[in-house]
Amino acid sequence: MSIEIILADDHNIMREALRVLLEKEPDMEVIGEAADGESTLRLAQEKRPDVVIMDISMPGLNGIEATRKITAKVSGVKVIALSAYSDRRFISHMFKAGASGYLLKDCLFEELAVAIRAVAKNQIYVSPKIADVVVKDFIHRSLKDDLTVFSILTDREREVLQLLSEGQTTKRIASLLKVSVKTIETHRQHIMDKLDIRSIAGLTKYALREGLTSL
């Protein structure tokens, strides 16, 4: 029985290349593709794949938040982060969101295939290239449980923060999240109060540093 896979990446050429390589594997089948987090979530709920290969930096809803929602709403699905980022925060946030694996985009395809088969068997896969980062992060958090955007802000506040940092207007965010403009203004005020940041430029810098969005 084939391992059913969904590819989530906002670059078409990346998805096309992965599809070609994966479909050469006798035990793997690509059943869907998505270019943003919201589409990935909808597709995962509809198709119920075995594995989602998830980019972190995607518009609207980033890969971290998409992973959090998928693992909470779609039982049995495994998420592998395939990212250009080796920074501790990105890796930590993805595993906290429920990812089962993390690889860098410069890895060999053979490693990705190994990771897919591993997580499909309910194992955790960490690329050797970031293993030291994961261990150091574990030690760091064991010594000190530092505050992050995921412990300070609610799920909805993080969504609003990402969209604000991506340059979306309050009216546009309200439309995307299907709530009133007043609700978004309230969320924005709560975000600023919790973070003690009083400008959109400051919020954008914070979102970049915490891995919610990217340039």
pLDDT digits (tens, 9 = 90+) for 143-197: 445 567 777 899 999 999 999 999 999 999 999 999 999 999 999 999 999 998 9
pLDDT of residue 122 exceeding 90: yes
Q: Please report, rounded to a whole number, the percentage of residues in the chain having pLDDT higher than 70.
A: 92
State mean pLDDT over 123-152.
70
pLDDT mean across residues, the chain: 90
Instruction: Check residue 211 and give left, alpha or beta (phi > 0: left; psi -120 to 50: alpha).
Output: left
Q: What is the pLDDT of residues 18-52, one digit of tens each?
A: 999 999 999 999 999 999 999 999 999 999 999 99
pLDDT tens digit sequence for 44-103 = 999 999 999 999 988 888 999 999 999 999 999 999 999 988 888 888 889 989 999 999
Confidence of residue 137 (pLDDT cuts 50, 70, 90): low
- Rounded to whole angstroms, how far apart are CA atoms 99 and 161? 22
Confidence check: pLDDT of 128 > 70? yes
Domains in the chain: ranges and CATH: 3-142 (3.40.50.2300), 149-210 (1.10.10.10)
C-alpha distances in Å from residue 162, one per residue of 16, 51, 99, 126, 207:
27, 25, 20, 27, 7
CB neighbour list of residue 10: distance below 8 Å, 6 or more residues apart = 35, 36, 55, 57, 58, 59
**Would you mind telling me the total number of residues written for the chain in this entry?**
215
**Looking at the predicted structure, is the pLDDT value of residue 130 above 60?**
yes
Catalogue the E-assigned strands of the chain. Answer: 3-8, 28-34, 51-54, 78-83, 101-104, 125-126
